[in-house]
């Protein structure tokens, strides 16, 4: 239930803000909005207020804002409140507003985390276990939150990073870990599990891990100005890493097995929710940036970036593409989205089965 509710909450917020961007700019520019929908039919809620029907669909994997005269197959009347009656600059602003709203949302979430939660700091002289992952080698060995790790393979350790280096070098191999619990010293030989992480020089590295995090000694909060600054910077760090990941996918440095879909998002939403609200909101900010980047890419015709590309073509040609060409491209875009959805869902299922 936690996983389901977290998934609905995370996707619901991201989709709502994305579609709200389209909606607000369209309204501001005098474009009639016929429908504002969260999720896809069949609908569990629908109500018309003014010119717009607001609805919530049972399939929570997206949403849409339907504007008057928006699609090429519609019979345009030339009314001033129709989407296609407006200049290219207006239509581009409406399309760009969705991804921009996700980008802005990520900044606000990150700023809120700096303001209300703060940045964790750690004891420089000891390693205290924070979280022990379910079904991890550490859990099987008996490690618990609050334990203090003192040695790895007989060598004293006092910094989490140095412990990670020692563990990462052992892939599916035993590593002897000793820790303190109360006044008792405990020890176990732990066989690490393999994990794939982005390599420093690009590509993917395989490392060993035992499945623990470090417990923070405390949190340092920021004022409003500093929180906004740090939120802006951190969002752009995430944005840069997302773009770098896409580049590595295109160049083949990164395996397409690393692409995740709705099943993974649902699982991860549940995990982060169990770790606390701050972790869930950080995950939401991460997804919000990813959603903005995905939508602004010009390679999928029916997404915002693809439609912006067609507006650029229209600007250069001095006229829209012929109706048949636009319809054909629209069908290709729908096929591309369906194919991508099937592919990432396949990845998610293989990951669940332990085959990725």
Give the residue numbers annotated as catalytic, written as ranges.
19
Domain assignment present for 98: yes
Judge if 112 and 169 occupy the same domain.
no
Task: Work out how many domains the chain is built from and give that number.
Answer: 2
Domain assignment present for 109: yes
Helix (H, G, I), strand (E, B) or coil at 292: helix
DSSP string, 224-279: HHHHHHHHHHHHHHHHHHHHHHHHHHHHTSS-GGG---HHHHHHHHHHHHHH-HHH
Nearest to 264 by CA among 141, 150, 154, 356: 356
Domain assignment present for 248: no
| Domain coverage including residue 72 | 2-117+278-352
Judge if 77 and 136 occupy the same domain.
no
Show the low-confidence residues of the chain (pLDDT under 50): none
76 touches 89 (CB < 8 A):
no
Distances (CA, A) of 199 to 110, 162, 206, 257, 260: 26, 18, 9, 15, 19
pLDDT score, position 198: 62
Judge if 80 and 125 occupy the same domain.
no
Judge if 7 and 108 occupy the same domain.
yes
Domain assignment present for 237: no
Judge if 208 and 298 occupy the same domain.
no
Domain assignment present for 232: no
Judge if 132 and 190 occupy the same domain.
yes
pLDDT score, position 243: 87
Judge if 110 and 129 occupy the same domain.
no
Tens-place pLDDT, residues 6-46? 989 999 999 999 999 999 999 999 999 999 999 888 889 99
10 touches 262 (CB < 8 A):
no
Nearest to 109 by CA among 241, 282, 265: 282
Domain assignment present for 224: no
Domain assignment present for 230: no
Q: Rounded to two decimals, what is the model's pTM?
A: 0.85
pLDDT score, position 202: 54
Cα(128)–Cα(160) distance, rounded to whole angstroms? 9
Judge if 132 and 109 occupy the same domain.
no
Tens-place pLDDT, residues 99-139? 999 999 999 999 999 999 998 888 888 999 998 988 899 99
DSSP string, 105-166: HHHHHHHHIIIII-EEE--TT-EEEEEE-TT-HHHHHT--TT-EEEEETTEE--SHHHHHHH
Last residue of a domain, one of 197, 218, 239: 218
Read off the tokens for 3.
């996983």
Last residue of a domain, one of 178, 201, 218: 218
The single residue listed with the structure tokens 């636009």 is 326
pLDDT score, position 226: 94
214 touches 160 (CB < 8 A):
yes
Cα(264)–Cα(204) distance, rounded to whole angstroms? 19
Judge if 103 and 15 occupy the same domain.
yes
pLDDT score, position 2: 79
Domain assignment present for 229: no
Judge if 104 and 133 occupy the same domain.
no
pLDDT score, position 204: 65
Judge if 105 and 9 occupy the same domain.
yes
Cα(29)–Cα(81) distance, rounded to whole angstroms? 9
DSSP string, 304-345: HHHHHHHHHHHHHHTSPPPHHHHHHHHHHHHHHHHHHHHHHH
Last residue of a domain, one of 189, 218, 247: 218
Judge if 31 and 108 occupy the same domain.
yes
Q: Can you give the CATH number for the domain in which 133 is found? A: 2.30.42.10
The phi, psi pair for 215, rounded to 5°, reads -80, 130
């Amino acid at each position: 239930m936690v996983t389901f509710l977290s998934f609905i909450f995370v996707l619901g917020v991201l989709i709502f803000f994305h579609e709200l961007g389209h909606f607000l700019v369209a309204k501001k520019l005098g474009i009639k909005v016929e429908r504002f929908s969260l999720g896809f039919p069949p609908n569990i809620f629908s109500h018309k207020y003014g010119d717009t029907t607001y609805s919530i669909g049972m399939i929570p994997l997206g949403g849409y804002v339907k504007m008057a005269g928006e699609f090429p197959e519609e019979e345009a009347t030339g009314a001033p409140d129709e989407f296609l009656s407006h200049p290219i600059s207006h239509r581009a602003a409406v399309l760009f507003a969705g991804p921009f709203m996700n980008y802005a949302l990520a900044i606000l979430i990150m700023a809120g985390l700096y303001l209300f939660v703060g940045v964790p700091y750690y004891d420089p002289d000891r390693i205290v276990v924070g979280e022990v992952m379910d079904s991890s080698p550490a859990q099987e060995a008996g490690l618990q939150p609050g334990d203090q790790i003192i040695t790895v393979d007989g060598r004293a350790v006092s910094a989490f990073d140095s412990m990670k280096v020692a563990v990462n070098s052992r892939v599916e191999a035993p590593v002897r870990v000793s820790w303190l619990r109360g006044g008792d010293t405990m020890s176990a030989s732990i066989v690490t599990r393999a994990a794939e992480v982005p390599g420093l020089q690009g590509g993917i590295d395989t490392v060993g891990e035992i499945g623990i995090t470090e417990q923070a000694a405390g949190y340092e909060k920021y004022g409003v100005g500093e929180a906004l600054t740090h939120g802006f910077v951190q969002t752009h760090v995430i944005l840069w890493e997302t773009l770098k990941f896409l580049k590595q996918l295109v160049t083949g440095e990164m395996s397409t097995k690393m692409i995740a879909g709705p099943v993974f998002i649902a699982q991860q939403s549940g995990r982060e929710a169990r770790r606390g609200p701050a972790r869930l909101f950080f995950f939401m900010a991460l997804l919000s940036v990813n959603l903005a980047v995905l939508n602004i890419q010009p390679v999928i015709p029916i997404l915002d970036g693809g439609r912006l590309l067609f507006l650029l073509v229209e600007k250069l040609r001095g006229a829209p593409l012929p109706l048949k060409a636009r319809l054909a491209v629209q069908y290709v875009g729908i096929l591309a989205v369906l194919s991508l959805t099937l592919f990432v869902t396949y990845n998610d299922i293989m990951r669940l089965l332990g085959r990725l």
